[in-house]
Structure 1
Amino acid sequence: MGASRAAVAATGQWVDPDDGVRYPAGEVHAWERGRNETACGLSLHRSRLTRFPHVGWPDVQPESGRHAEEVQEVCRRCRAAQGARRDDRGWTRTDPRP
């Protein structure tokens, strides 16, 4: 699954009052159109995830800020499957061993 083709599946949704379009909220997962599972292997139906084929995966990343207003959590496994680097961690080593 390539990052350019990935859409979004999420646990919730919100509607933009300006244009009336629905966007993902809650926990978001990468999803490829035409498949019934996320990049991390969750079944869309069993997990009760809502599909958002009009929203691309890069648009829900917190650093992009585009459609990430109501996103609370990004699936780590989906993020890794979409090419996130392992060294993109939220911590740094302050006292490395010699």
Structure 2
Amino acid sequence: MLDGVPAETPEDLMRSRYTAFALGDARHLADTWFPATRPDDVSVDAGTTWLGLEVLSSEEASDGRSGRVAFRARWRDAATGELGTLEEDSRFLRRAGRWYYADAL
């Protein structure tokens, strides 16, 4: 994951990506984003402090090639103190033995 070891499940990858957002590790986010859906600019907003992750559901397709993770992540804007929640149902794809974030449904 952040240490280069591939995630074993879509949920493992979601958790490592949350950690990458919290630590500002744009490289990990780019490396774990499916190439066909990855934007040209993968950057992290330094003004956002991530406060916690709650995985709501996680599933992997029976063929092991796709999965979904629904989550809720809490954040705070460093400049204004505004609090917020990001809720997403994320789709993951497995290619050549590695999981990748594809997109939000």
Report the TM-score, using the length of structure 1 for normalisation.
0.24
Higher fraction of strand: 2
Q: Which has the higher contact order (CA 8 A, sep 6+)?
A: 1
Higher fraction of helix: 2
Greater C-alpha radius of gyration: 1
